[in-house]
Amino acid sequence: MGASLEDDVVFIVGAERSGTTLFRLILDNHPRVGNPGEFDFLFDRVEDDGRAPNMERYRDWLSTDRIFMSHGLRIDPTLGYLDLIKSFICQKAKPNRVLSLNVHRGFHKIPRFFPHARYIHFLRDPRDVALSVIQMGWAGNVYFGVDGWVDSERSWDVLKEHVEDSRILEVKFEDLVSAPEETLQRVCDFLNVAYDKTMLEYHKHSSYGPIDKNVARQWRKRLQPSELALLEYKISDLLLSRGYEPSGSEVKEPSGIQIAMLRAKNRVHRWLFVAEHYGIFHLTLDKIARVFHLEQLHRRLRIRANEIDLRFLK
């Protein structure tokens, strides 16, 4: 767990549904690059002010976290927080391969623990991200579906204040799908590896298809001017600062009644999705476990939810 590992690790940071999984598969298909997937569990339990989590509670939480469990990592109960998360990274590192890890949120926490890490900031048009979030059942409208993207980008702004420009590369999803070879050449230069055409053969080893430039800018076909007017009012500053052009719809501040209706629609949609996804019986038991602090029941329900999520994601 020396300095060389810390210097070499590259964090792929971008909001959920921004195309980071596609990017991960492409990177992992390079013979000199490895990307085992999502590693949000490294920082999810860290406080915003950088305080490390209570180790007993952190280890217990990890034992039922779906993403952590999928990696097959070993937990050494003798290690403190920093040494433990570095041990996880060591377990995934491979000789002669640059290690990259995907993180979707809380980016600003990373430099405190990895002061020499490098970052690829992966961006996608927030209007497309919001549409994808709705498809996943996580939101009922784009006005609230964009919130995860906003939180991630605000976190990124904080991180940038503590990291030199030389350790940052900006990559847009739209550039990746429209000019993949040119974009991946920039990525390889940043990673100090030669470009390898096998990167674009990732689909031979995954359930993802080949790159399709038509998946970008779906919002132009699928969002109504009234939706864009409210959404772009909400994210206008971030939209422009990230280099995305407004739709041309007249931005409009939503009224209090409109926000209340959007929020109600969002909550109903999410509840219906969760109820269908996990079942009413599961949700009822989960509520009971939380109210009466039934830890063992709650643990079993989390593991059961993980199994359901895996079937859904597949």
Which residues in 177-204 are b (16+ Cβ under 10 Å) and which e? Answer: beebeebbebbbebbebeeeeebeebee
Q: Length of the chain, please?
A: 314
C-alpha 272 chain-centroid distance = 24
pLDDT interval class at 311 (50, 70, 90): confident
pLDDT tens-place string over residues 195-254: 999 999 999 989 999 999 999 999 999 999 999 999 999 999 999 999 999 999 999 999
pLDDT tens-place string over residues 139-152: 999 999 999 999 99
pLDDT tens-place string over residues 38-96: 999 999 999 999 999 999 999 999 999 999 999 999 999 999 999 999 999 999 999 99
Q: Tell me the domain boundaries of the chain.
A: 3-219
Please give the CATH architecture assigned to the domain spanning 3-219: 3-Layer(aba) Sandwich (3.40)
pLDDT at 1: 40
pLDDT at 176: 98
Residue 7 has pLDDT above 90, yes or no: no
pLDDT at 310: 83
Closest to 15 (Cα-Cα) out of 4, 3, 23: 23
The rounded distance, in Å, linking the Cα atoms of 42 and 40 is 5
Q: Where are the beta strands (DSSP E) in 25-69?
A: 33-34
Residues 6+ apart with CB under 8 A from 131: 142, 145, 218, 219, 222, 223
Contact yes or no for 282/307 (Cβ under 8 A): no
- Amino acid at residue number 28: D
Closest to 22 (Cα-Cα) out of 10, 33, 35, 11: 35
Q: Which of the two residues, 2 and 17, has the higher pLDDT score?
A: 17
Q: Phi/psi of residue 25, each to 5°?
A: -60, -40
Mean pLDDT for all residues in the chain = 95
